[in-house]
Structure 1
């Protein structure tokens, strides 16, 4: 089959020497092959569209090779997919079966490791996917199962009437989160990104927006006088800035005692190495555990918002089903970068990865593998 192949790790984000699309890659075999991500009970799908995410780039750099690296080189990248079911698992372990079968179009997110999807055929887990409604396109389905599902999870932390500030509002998760918090009843939404005009346009529709290259939301006197209930950090590094502001002037987010919350999906630096369990604990667990603890007890509740690290997706299809349903009802509009979808060619795949690595995508980055 035709598939993207990465022959080695690269830290340059140029991809010319390691990333190609080849015509003679062995087609996955449900009976004999183990998915590169290592999950059990796979099904075979014919791939239509693939959505890229930060994890796809991180795996290719090798910064997390011991924990997220492929079992061997070359490997097929790509983790979130829309495709048509070709063959179901030989032995169904799901009680009551699944709501889809051979011939159905499904959207599936990755399990364990984001890899194996950028080919004409792929092995996916039937436990974390669902049937795509007819009104949703292939590209939109891939975008929804990827970043929009994360946005829906984060939005569960929002309360009716909340004032919400979102850093990274223009990216894949952010573009959908601005919509999802409205569905939860947020009364005032401000997005921080590079394209401030886009953030105020439909479907993102923020009440206000900030171009971070020109302005600093922390210096806005209006928000210091009337602080936010929630700050969402999708880019990394906002918590240290918030701490510094607490020490010099009024904060733009309420304290925990006042109901203020700080939500994040990333460590202080979005670019990190995690080549051992110890490194991962130092990057993810220890700082988050300490902050979550001291903002929930004692005196710090009077001047810090409650810190929560929102990480991990459920190992079931529930969030996929919820996200696709919201899109089918017209409540959640898929946001795809205007430069895509990218063609399934060597240069098209390289361009898609370059844009993902730049961290300046406006919505989801989609690679179209097949039309139908």
Structure 2
């Protein structure tokens, strides 16, 4: 059995812990989701529950904060149960986390010592499935984990660990001087991408979301914003007169809208592929999707993206539509997370947490957090404070 670093004498890991428990698939969180008052869930353990090869890149943390994402609500709904479902019920939800390291294996898959030490405060995103983090203790994968700078709070770190990382990686595709439109700018990724676009050198950043005033305030600072429930963003005269270099669709549905406006003879708000216009997205047209078989995956993700990518690069569409790219891909390394946390430490990137949170680690608090996340109308990230222990 792989050896574990000894714990500080003053600290003991309890055999049972409090953890959010989901008892079934569904959307009625009042019925299926709760946080027991007392510790009733087995505390995760290193070197006991799994064979050595499976846990050499895992560490045990005492959880301080957890940030929710669309995947958390999707898993709970059961709409992707065959691919993202829990191994059994009840299960502990939550995938993005910040906490204090309390146990590490001395050996790693690559040999040598673990890069983290007991007492480090770390942030980590989930690997494979967003499960297991919303408890007092959790096992984290060290491949997608990094130490949190002292001047970044645990709630901020949890909010940054995946959505802001996605924003940082998308921003790498923005060129200096670009005019950028972010469709779905008010959510978790969008709130951070608005900031990153400016850092990347964009000359003009516009946002589309439900709260247009917020998009133009600190720290997002969009030059102009549109509430899509009141104004058709694809008919804004200023944008038609001076098209964008790139549209970044974080909400889904912008591509069909562009096609509709083109077929109606209206001027486009984005340059064509021939004029170096780009369209980047991380979501299918409908972000609330259901997948039970591989053919569902192909129908929702692969076939539309492949067809659009090809047609926008060749033929007549190249002269009227931007170059289409589906860009969702989180690396299984911590490099992008390291960059993101460094930007936050330097106050160049501000973590955006929904004004209703952070939510408390109670049944009511966790239920309200999941209801907000499932609404797809968050203003930044949905965060739950699990513990404030230092």
What is the CA-CA distance between 1:275 and the residue it aligns to?
1.2
State the distance in 1 between where 2:235 and 2:185 align. Answer: 19
What is the CA-CA distance between 1:146 and the residue it aligns to?
2.3
SS of alignment partner, residue 324 of structure 1: helix
SS of alignment partner, residue 181 of structure 2: strand
Q: Structure 1 residue runs of 4+, over 6 Å off?
A: none
Alpha carbons 1:148, 1:323 under 8 Å: kept: yes
Alpha carbons 1:99, 1:131 under 8 Å: kept: no
- Corresponding position: 1:327 with 2:344: yes
Q: How does 1:251-266 map to 2 (within 5 A)?
A: 251-266=268-283
What is the CA-CA distance between 1:360 and the residue it aligns to?
1.2
Tell me the equivalent position of 1:215. Answer: 231
State the distance in 1 between where 2:253 and 2:155 align. Answer: 31
- Gap change, CA 1:40 and 1:193, over 3 Å in 2: farther
Q: How does 1:169-248 map to 2 (within 5 A)?
A: 169-248=185-264
Unaligned runs of 5+ in 2: 1-16
Cα RMSD over matched residues?
A: 1.5
What is the CA-CA distance between 1:297 and the residue it aligns to?
2.2
State the distance in 1 between where 2:334 and 2:71 align. Answer: 20
What is the CA-CA distance between 1:225 and the residue it aligns to?
1.3
Tell me the equivalent position of 1:19. Answer: 33
Tell me the equivalent position of 1:310. Answer: 327
Tell me the equivalent position of 2:160. Answer: 144
Alpha carbons 2:35, 2:361 under 8 Å: kept: yes
State the distance in 2 between where 1:163 and 1:120 align. Answer: 45
Deviations 1:212-237 (A, max 9, x none): 11111111111111100111111111
Tell me the equivalent position of 2:93. Answer: 77
State the distance in 1 between where 2:231 and 2:110 align. Answer: 51
SS of alignment partner, residue 66 of structure 2: strand
Alpha carbons 2:56, 2:108 under 8 Å: kept: no
What is the CA-CA distance between 1:39 and the residue it aligns to?
8.2
Among 363, 368, 371, the alignment partner of 2:385 is 368
Deviations 1:315-349 (A, max 9, x none): 00011101001111111011011111000000100
Alpha carbons 1:163, 1:229 under 8 Å: kept: yes
Among 153, 156, 163, the alignment partner of 2:179 is 163
Tell me the equivalent position of 2:126. Answer: 110
Tell me the equivalent position of 2:372. Answer: 355
State the distance in 1 between where 2:296 and 2:113 align. Answer: 39
- Gap change, CA 1:136 and 1:94, over 3 Å in 2: farther
Tell me the equivalent position of 2:8. Answer: none
Tell me the equivalent position of 1:132. Answer: 148
What is the CA-CA distance between 1:174 and the residue it aligns to?
0.5
Alpha carbons 2:167, 2:193 under 8 Å: kept: yes
Unaligned runs of 5+ in 1: none
Tell me the equivalent position of 2:3. Answer: none
Q: How does 1:246-285 map to 2 (within 5 A)?
A: 246-248=262-264, 249-285=266-302
Deviations 1:82-117 (A, max 9, x none): 011111135312467554321100000110000100
Alpha carbons 1:99, 1:130 under 8 Å: kept: no
State the distance in 1 between where 2:268 and 2:329 align. Answer: 29
SS of alignment partner, residue 41 of structure 2: coil
Tell which structure's C-alpha radius of gyration is larger: 2
Tell me the equivalent position of 2:18. Answer: 2
State the distance in 1 between where 2:113 and 2:195 align. Answer: 33
What is the CA-CA distance between 1:43 and the residue it aligns to?
1.3
State the distance in 1 between where 2:320 and 2:166 align. Answer: 29
Deviations 1:111-130 (A, max 9, x none): 00001000000011011010
What is the CA-CA distance between 1:296 and the residue it aligns to?
1.6
- Using the size of structure 2 for normalisation, the TM-score is 0.92
